[in-house]
Structure 1
Amino acid sequence: MNRREILTALPSALVASQAAAATEAPRALSARGEANLTAFARLLAYVRFFHPTDEAAATDWSALAVSHVETVEAARSPAELVARFEAVFRPLAPTLKLYAASTPPAARPDAPPAAGTLVMWKHWGAALTSPSTYHAARVAVADGRPRVLPLSLGGGVSALMPTTANAMPAAFEAPTLAAAATAARAYPADERRVHLAAVILAWGVLHHFYPYLDTAGDWDAALSEGLRSAARDPDGQAFRLTLARMVATLRDGHGNVYYRSAEKGLPIGWSWIEDQLVITALPDDAKDLTVGAVVTRIDGVDVRQRLAMLDPEICAATPQWLRFKSLQRLQERPDGTPAVLQGETPDGRPFTASLAAAPWKTVYALASKSAVANFSEPRPGVVYVDLARVTDDDLQTRMTQLAAARGIVLDDRGYPSGPARMLLYHLSDRTLHSPRFEKPIVTEPDGRNVVFDGEGSWVMAPHEPRFPGRLVLLTSGGSISYAESWAGTFEGEKLGPIVGGPTAGTNGNINPLWLPGGFLVVFTGMRVRKQDGSRHHGVGIIPTVPVAQTLAGFRAGRDEVLERGAALAAGDA
């Protein structure tokens, strides 16, 4: 499932969880309790994803985690923790052996079964919902030999867990996205045990399946901090921030946590220009505000201070995407109240203005407005194409214009429309290839021996009419995901200069993880590499012609990135 499909479904899916009396008031974890829950997080994920019994495959893992988290937390010693793990996991994994010791004894695999098929789990990414590009199955063990995994779980507990079992090969059937959302919302969002279970479940999925864990922050430390914070969170809104800080450790531009999203935001466009927050668009009825003004304070708080408060909650692979997302977050008004903006007008006068919140539909419509008409000519014979505004009708009516153009400026600074991809088929007389989209194939835990299925790239044979004019691509720090598939194709095929700023550095189909309480975590589920095999994540597409908008240029009504691109497309620069 791609980013746009999931995010389009979010408004209808993100309804409030049913409130219920919490089973236990928020309180801090003891050192023993934290060690117990850390071991629980590790063991639960190992059994869930790598112990191939019928019972484990059929388990409702959210129910298991919520039901047992408090009992596990309360264990007073390694021996007591082993006893509680036995009660939880023995019905699912009868061959699992647990020890009240930091390390297990040497593994001695059982003899191969005399009859039947020995199977193991094989995951093509994390199979969390269906339909999805990610799936899992129990497959026959190629050499027929049993395998046993030694596990040091923490808390003075260890285990020997078989990763093979005598069972029938079978595909895993994940729930639909709607069913997963309904099940998640059945748990009260304000309960302490639900918060702890959600951290445990999220950590396990991301530990074994996030394809860039090698570039993330300290993920074990994120589990510890997540558990400590979750235990103290008084309600769902506070816990959402705990999850957001935890997910931010991944450094994943797709990473996000959704829960009762703010229904309103500020109807204003703004950008970070020359290290200042500059108003770039306003609704027609805005009062006491001017396009080109610099905002220095919001509700009496310095803008830089507000950004510093937001940054730890934002998941980003690059500084440019972090800034792009933080400016969006500045627009949020969860309580729907007006904001008081202060700053300096273009002519140097101080201003104070109140701006009423508006529905997000209004905010998004303002953000998508452009002063430049699509398919207009910024220079004679040079056609400007905003990829975000390309329609199916354009593919029928604009082909002759583009084929006759002496230059084409392709604006990839937004999120391209679906039809925009078809333009790639007309940019060359040879077959084009996109970046490499690679699903992780996981058969062992902890990121060991992961291989990647590299058969997912776009292949675009040339179509008529051909666009022979000079091609230029515009990019920015807000260009992410599908926009980077476009830019990565352009870069890898060397179709022309790339003008503007580096892109977000995050691409690949996203994966939705619904957690008890109605919290939705979204993360990148596959690896994307550039055509030459080099890293894209955390790097992005680097422009060949770096250009930044200046404040003076913006106030003069100039789009300096577009101007440079048009000059290159015209052959004048």
Structure 2
Amino acid sequence: MDSFPTKDLSPEISRALLDACAEGESLRIPDWLQAFFRDEPTPRPERPLTPEERIRGLATVWAEAKYNFAYWDRLPGEAWWDEQFQAYIPLVAGAASDEEYWRLMESFGNLLRDGHTLVLPPPWLTGQESEPPLRIIAVEGRPVVLEGEGLPPGTEILAVDGRPAEEVRREVAASLPLITDQYREWGTARRLLRGPAGTEVQVRVRLPDGSEQEVRLRRTGPLPPRPPLEVRDLGDGLFHVAVNTMFTDETWQAFDRRFPDFAGVRGLILDLRWNNGGNAQVGWQILGRLIERPTRAAAVRMRCYLPTYRAYGFSQRWLVAEPAVIEPRRDLPTFTGPVAVLSSPITGSAAEDFLVAFRESRRGPIVGGPSCGSTGQTLAVPLPGGGAFLVCTKRDTFPDGTPFVGYGIQPDIPAALTIAGLAAGRDEVLERAVEALRTWVG
């Protein structure tokens, strides 16, 4: 809500309240939410949602955001949110189909401009869409093939079904949370060719040799996800370690298996460019093997809503949680040589939590582009019709209070891919990190 300025409760009071509220509790993910993360088709409901059910879904999003969202100070305020709710009531009630209803619900959630606050359409609806087996990213501001089937790396997408690519990207942007400019640029490129599963899309491309041609691609499904951890020997004792996800303990366990004692390792490059998050503890297990002294993670603030204080007209109160401390691991040897971390606008959530702690540890540079600019703890609420609303309930900053949500974490050494480099099979970001570490290693 928009009762600002705000006041922080003292660390002592915050700690006591947090401990008291969490006593006897453990983290639980409800079964209904897990269905959104399983790659399983779900049947379409036998009947469409009624206008009353649609309005109830809209009201749920409005109310849960009003009392749980952590970033109201970045928006016009409570009265503005009420006005948006009023404006959307006739839109959702009169939607011509459930598909249109869920598009409206997504746009309503995106008004909050936060990557951890969004409406998830039901799995039966999202399962109707797919894309060709290509990974497309933004390179030099343009949608370019990184890897995949049918088109070589460095191929630029010029038009989709006869429409200029930039026009389609603007349309895609309307369905994305407006987190940061860099996320929008990469997110619209990644979703450029999405459409009804199994259909063909006509694409005009510029190939690496400069020629242009029309190709037809079938939306048979995205490329399979990368393994949790990939390791490549770069020579001279340098290793490229792609940490692709933090959604599974297999990531840090694979790191331990590959580097039980770091024998022969003179430098590490941890690549988080394709890591969009998971569980921060996964990354901290890896970081714990790279530090010799404790290091701090992000600082956290959470809303403390007291209805009686609101009646008194008091300011919004915040619980302030002291930054978690990541301890060096003692179960396996520690690597004390030089380390660099690669980042991109895809690097988000728990991967950004890793960047915060890595920078705080002063173990080495972050190389590449600015990160996504979105992390936090979501509260998940079911919606009529099988969808869900996720709302960010806490604010994360660097330990000294410097914000990065909504901005991204800036690299210490900026570096970017180029179209020519991709076409030539080069990775200029990795090359820049190798250059930095080889200078360090000597």
Same fold (TM over 0.5): yes
Contact 1:502 1:542 in 2 (8 A): yes
Instruction: Please state how far the C-alpha of 1:188 moved relative to its aligned partner.
Output: 5.5
Match of 1:197? Answer: 56
Other-structure match for 2:240:
384
The alignment status of 1:211 with 2:70, answered yes or no, reads: yes
Letter in 2 for 1:191: T
| Cα distance, 1:247 vs structure 2 | 1.1
- Count residues with an aligned counterpart: 394
Q: CA deviation at 1:448?
A: 4.6
1:535-568 Cα deviation digits (max 9, x unpaired): 1211221101111111111111111111111111
Query: Residue 142 of structure 2: which of 266, 271, 276 is its match?
Result: 276
Letter in 1 for 2:391: F
> Once structures 1 and 2 are overlaid, which stretch shifts more, 203-212 or 216-225?
216-225
Structure-1 separation of matches of 2:268 and 2:421: 23
> How many percent identity over aligned positions?
22
Q: How does 1:381-460 map to 2 (within 5 A)?
A: 381-388=237-244, 390=251, 392-401=253-262, 404-415=264-275, 419-444=282-307, 448-455=315-322, 457-460=324-327
For 1:203 and 1:448, locate their aligned partners in 2 and report how far apart those are by CA, in whole Å.
21
1:469 to 2:330 alignment: no
Name stretches of at least 5 consecutive residues in structure 2 with no aligned partner: 2-16, 37-43, 246-250
Provide the secondary structure at the position in 2 that maps to 1:376: strand
2:190 matched residue in structure 1: 328
Q: Which residue of 1 aligns with 2:365?
A: 497
Cα pair distance change 1:318/1:132, threshold 3 Å = farther
Deviations 1:451-477 (A, max 9, x none): 124157353234341211111111100
Contact 1:258 / 1:521 at 8 angstroms: preserved in 2?
A: yes
CA distance in 1, matches of 2:57, 2:110: 16
User: What SS class does the counterpart of residue 395 from structure 1 fall into?
Assistant: helix
For the residues of structure 2 that align with 1:554 and 1:179, how far apart are their CA atoms? 38
Q: Counterparts of 2:300 and 2:195 in 1: how far apart (Å)? A: 37
Residue 433 of structure 1 and its aligned partner are, at CA, apart by: 1.8
For residue 409 of structure 1, what is the amino acid of its counterpart? I
> Quick one: structure 1 residues 458 and 332, their matched pair in 2 at CA, closer, same or farther if it must change by over 3 Å?
farther
* Letter matched to residue 468 of structure 1: T
Match of 2:131 in 1: 265
Contact kept? 1:187, 1:194, Cα under 8 Å: no
Structure 1 position 228 matched with structure 2 position 90: yes
TM-score (norm 2): 0.80
Q: Deviations over 1:189-239 (max 9, x none)?
A: 432222222111211110111101211364334323322321321121101
* Greater relative contact order, per chain length (Cα 8 Å cut-off, separation 6+): 2
- Residue 450 of structure 1 aligns to a residue whose secondary structure is strand
Contact 1:431 1:459 in 2 (8 A): yes
Distance 2:323 2:381 in 1: 22
Report if aligned partners of 2:64, 2:391 keep a CA contact under 8 Å in 1.
no
CA distance in 1, matches of 2:412, 2:106: 34
Are the aligned partners of 1:188 and 1:194 in contact in 2 as well (CA < 8 Å)? no
Give TM-score, length-normalised by structure 1: 0.63
CA separation in 2, counterparts of 1:453 and 1:330?
40
Provide the alpha-carbon RMSD of the alignment: 3.2
Structure-2 change in CA distance of 1:275 and 1:198 (3 Å): same
Partner of 2:165 in structure 1? 303
Cα distance between partner residues in 2 of 1:299 and 1:308: 15
Computing the radius of gyration over CA atoms, which structure comes out larger, 1 or 2? 1
What are the superposed Cα offsets for residues 155-181 of structure 1, whole Å, 9 maximum, x if unpaired?
xxxxxxxxxxxxxxxxxxxx9452999
8 Å CA contact 1:252, 1:316 repeated in 2: yes
CA distance in 1, matches of 2:48, 2:318: 37
- The superposition leaves residues 475-496 of structure 1 with CA deviations (integer Å, 9 ceiling, x where unpaired) of 1000010100111111222221
Letter in 2 for 1:450: R
Match of 2:179 in 1: 317
Q: Distance in 2 between matches of 1:179 and 1:274?
A: 37
Report deviation, 1:435. Answer: 0.9
The change in CA–CA distance for 1:197 and 1:235 in structure 2 (over 3 A counts) is same
The separation in 2 between residues aligned to 1:189 and 1:524, in whole angstroms, is: 29
- Gap regions ≥5 residues in structure 1: 1-41, 43-122, 135-174
- The answer as to whether partners of 1:181 and 1:514 remain within 8 angstroms in 2 is no
CA distance in 2, matches of 1:553, 1:409: 20
The answer to whether the 8 A contact 2:68-2:392 is kept is: no
Residue in 2 that maps onto 1:28: none
